[in-house]
Amino acid sequence: MVFKKLMQAAGIGGPEVETILHNPNTTPGGTVTGEVTILGGKHDSDILGVNLALKTRVEVESGDSEYTSNLEYAKLPIAGAFKLDDGARYSVPFQFQIPWEAPLTHFYGHPLRGTTVGLATELEVARAIDATDLDPIAVHPLPAQERILSAFANLGFQFRNADCEKGRIWGVHQELPFYQEIEFYPPARYSRGIKQLEVTFVSYPQSMEVVLELDKRGGVFTEGHDAFSRFTVDYATVEHTNWEQQLDGFLQQAGRRRGLF
């Protein structure tokens, strides 16, 4: 990672900031550690503060339109105001806890196409533009999330895309103002009724909510619509369940209830 230079309002080189992560790989509820180093510029600078923030790209619906926004959803101040002499070096170690509801970016070591998470380092300097250093974070599934995703793969579902939607899921407690949807193409046995399956995890320290959204195929005279199924997974007992059988039951039940199959 190269140092990010901050240009002072007067046009003279200002301080530079660099963030080094000890390990960019983590899980929901995990901790990322590292060190932020600030190098003084050609003259003394008044640093107002140093903050870290998690950011991800989310889809936002507004009326009849939709747009993408980079959303900041967790922030950690790691240093207050101090004076940075010209050419001086100032380092701050940090520990940043990842929210339990953080979106996943990887599965089985491979990126989940459509979702990225970045750790931004924000350097606030008096009388100057803020400098920002953005480092990618790889958020891997919790064991329970991995088990559910593996079960869908074993049933024949194929990963399509993953994105984050700003908003809240009815009836589900959320700390973050958005949720992730992991989209799959259905295998042949479900394709008559389902165009695609969207899986959302809302995780807590001891358990997680799993929300399934079934995008129903529309017929010649009928419009397709979404159907929901939701269940709770306890981390302590997740390995004692045949999830392939359980998920197939959820899908069949939801399909019969809503006339998908």
Residue ranges per structural domain of the chain: 4-139, 143-257
pLDDT of 144 higher than 80: yes
pLDDT of 192 higher than 90: no
Indicate the range of 46-60, 99-113, 123-137, 241-255 predicted with least confidence: 123-137
The answer to whether the CB of 176 falls within 8 A of the CB of 165 is no
Three-state DSSP state, 80: coil
Residues with Cβ within 8 Å of 125's Cβ and at least 6 positions away in sequence, in order, are 6, 8, 14, 15, 45, 46, 47, 48, 131
Rounded Cα distance between 259 and 182, Å, is 24
What is the average per-residue pLDDT within 187-193?
A: 83
What is the average per-residue pLDDT within 174-203?
A: 91
For the segment 74-122, what is each residue's pLDDT rounded down to a tens digit? Answer: 999 999 998 988 888 999 999 999 999 999 999 988 899 999 999 999 8
pLDDT of 129 higher than 60: yes
What is the average per-residue pLDDT within 246-253?
A: 87
pLDDT of 141 higher than 50: yes
Look at residue 93 in the predicted model and tell me its pLDDT: 96
Burial of 127 (0-12, 13-18, 19+ CB in 10 A): exposed
Helices 143-154, 243-257: inter-axial angle, 10-degree rounding: 70
Under the banding of pLDDT at 50, 70 and 90, the label for residue 258 is low
For the segment 26-76, what is each residue's pLDDT rounded down to a tens digit? Answer: 999 999 999 999 988 888 888 899 999 999 999 998 777 888 889 999 999
Look at residue 220 in the predicted model and tell me its pLDDT: 34
pLDDT of 4 higher than 60: no
CATH number of 4-139: 2.60.40.640
pTM of the entire structure?
0.87
What is the average per-residue pLDDT within 214-225?
A: 47
Look at residue 255 in the predicted model and tell me its pLDDT: 64
For the segment 196-208, what is each residue's pLDDT rounded down to a tens digit? Answer: 899 999 999 999 9
Look at residue 64 in the predicted model and tell me its pLDDT: 77
Cα→Cα distances 120→76, 90, 99, 103, 112, Å: 10, 18, 15, 16, 21
Look at residue 259 in the predicted model and tell me its pLDDT: 59
Look at residue 43 in the predicted model and tell me its pLDDT: 82
Per-residue DSSP letter, 128: B
